[in-house]
Amino acid sequence: MARCVNNEASQEEREVLQRLLEEDEDLGTQYEILSQYWKNEKANIQTVGKKESDDDSLRRILFLANTADNSIEEYIEPVVPKRNNFAKVIKWGFIATSAAACLAFLIVKNQFVFHKDRVAKTANQLQVITTPEGTRTRTILPDGSVVWLNSGSTISFNNQFQGAARDVKLEGEGYFDVAKSSSKPFIVHVANIDIHVLGTAFNVRSYPRDSATETTLVSGLVQITSNKDHNADKAKFIIHPNEKISILKNTADLIVADPAIKQKVSIRNIDTSIKLQDRTELAWIYNRLVFHGETFAALAERMERWYNIKIVFEDEKVAQLSFNGSFENENVAEAFKALTSAIPFNYKIEDQEVYVSSTN
């Protein structure tokens, strides 16, 4: 496939590939998209002068091919949910030569997952997408925007984005890479706030048990307002790249004249020296659970969604332990073993439940 894409295949190789494509319709579709993006990527490098390693270039092409969305300007590692009945796994491998940027595909560990979301449509064309706990997934919205959903999250939207705005309702956590449209703003409705954007990338976290709604901006600009009232004097917060805003959910409305506004809202800068995949707010889209100084109780909530388990604390002392670290490929048993190597505590795993207690 790679040699044909790069016009370096022999006639015999082309004939073999053609037979394979005729036998597998899905493979044929994927090859067409891959071919298109490989050509576009080469043109982009030549005209814009964007420099990427062959490794990064291929991964970007495969990502774009998977999403079939050429509006994405920056590559982000695809989310790899755990295998389940809704996932189709296709393995790709590669070798790239620097001289001709020729790609030869091998079967290796790299896995790109096409996740069949649980989608429900109602009569009024409202589309609802839910990500089960223990999985993370990526979805293409009607306008070409991309949304990554973390475990136990749900989004709903009009199937064709009809109306003056592109309205999306979120419960849980989602990372949005929004397609630009100056005529139709993109609005995320979550808990007690509305997030207005035109074209940008940002993460929103607002699970039902969270005390606050958090928005972390990666690029572009977003404007945040309360959705609890229609007062023209309500506060508007403009968030810039690498800023994170946290708004308490018990805030009924955000009025400019409210003297307690500073106690309800906090804005802080994100440490840009930390790579995206190592940031607590964004690591999950790279299939990593990162935690810095969190109490065991707070970490447990995230681990419950991450592994689809229930963690029961048998005393308050162990719940207040604090941990730093990350999980990527660890299963439940390995994760708890790693935690106990940092700070000793007792635990017992029974099916989908984990019982945790202090050592004394």
Q: What pLDDT, in 10s, does the model give residues 208-218?
A: 988 889 999 99
The answer to whether the beta carbons of residues 171 and 149 sit under 8 Å apart is: no
| The two three-digit tokens of residue 134, written as one number | 């223990």
Q: Are residues 198 and 184 in the same domain?
A: yes
Q: Which residue has the higher pLDDT, 99 or 156?
A: 156
The alpha carbon torsion through 169, 170, 175, 176 (nearest 10 deg) reads 0
Residue 104 and residue 162 in one domain: no
Contact residues for 347 (Cβ-Cβ < 8 A; gap 6+): 336, 340, 354, 355, 356, 357
Contacts by 131-137, CB closer than 8 A, 24 or more apart: 131/172, 132/84, 132/308, 133/304, 133/305, 133/308, 134/81, 134/82, 134/305, 134/306, 134/307, 134/308, 135/81, 135/82, 135/84, 136/79, 136/80, 136/81, 136/284, 136/285, 136/287, 137/79, 137/81
How many domains in the chain?
A: 3
Task: Give 250 or 12, the one with higher predicted confidence.
Answer: 12
345 and 249 in a single domain? The answer is: no
User: pLDDT per residue over 92-148, tens digit each?
Assistant: 333 233 222 333 232 222 223 333 344 444 445 788 999 988 888 888 888 888 899
Q: Is residue 281 part of a domain?
A: no
Q: How is 186-245 classified by DSSP, letter by letter? A: EEEEETTEEEEESS-EEEEEE-TT-SEEEEEEEES-EEEEESS---TTB--EEE-TTEEE
My answer on whether 172 and 131 are in the same domain is yes
Q: What is the pLDDT of residues 217-260, one digit of tens each?
A: 999 999 988 776 555 556 788 899 999 999 888 765 555 445 55
User: Last residue of a domain, which of 114, 139, 157?
Assistant: 114
pLDDT of the residue at 166: 92
Same domain, 36 and 88: yes
283 occurs within a structural domain:
no
Domain span at residue 140? 117-276
Does one domain contain both 37 and 121? no
pLDDT score recorded for residue 149: 93
Kindly report the length of the chain: 360
Burial class (CB in 10 A: 0-12, 13-18, 19+), 203: buried
End residue of a domain, out of 114, 145, 173: 114
Q: What is the pLDDT of residue 258?
A: 55
Query: The pTM is what?
Result: 0.65
Flag whether pLDDT at 199 surpasses 80.
no
What confidence score (pLDDT) does residue 108 get? 26
What tens digit of pLDDT does each residue of 284-335 get? 998 899 999 999 999 999 999 999 999 999 999 999 999 999 998 899 999 9
User: How confident is the model at residue 160, as a pLDDT?
Assistant: 79
- Give, in order, the Cα–Cα distances in Å from 159 to each of 168, 240, 256, 339: 10, 30, 35, 44
Q: Is residue 282 part of a domain?
A: no
Local structure of residue 286 (DSSP, 8 states) = G
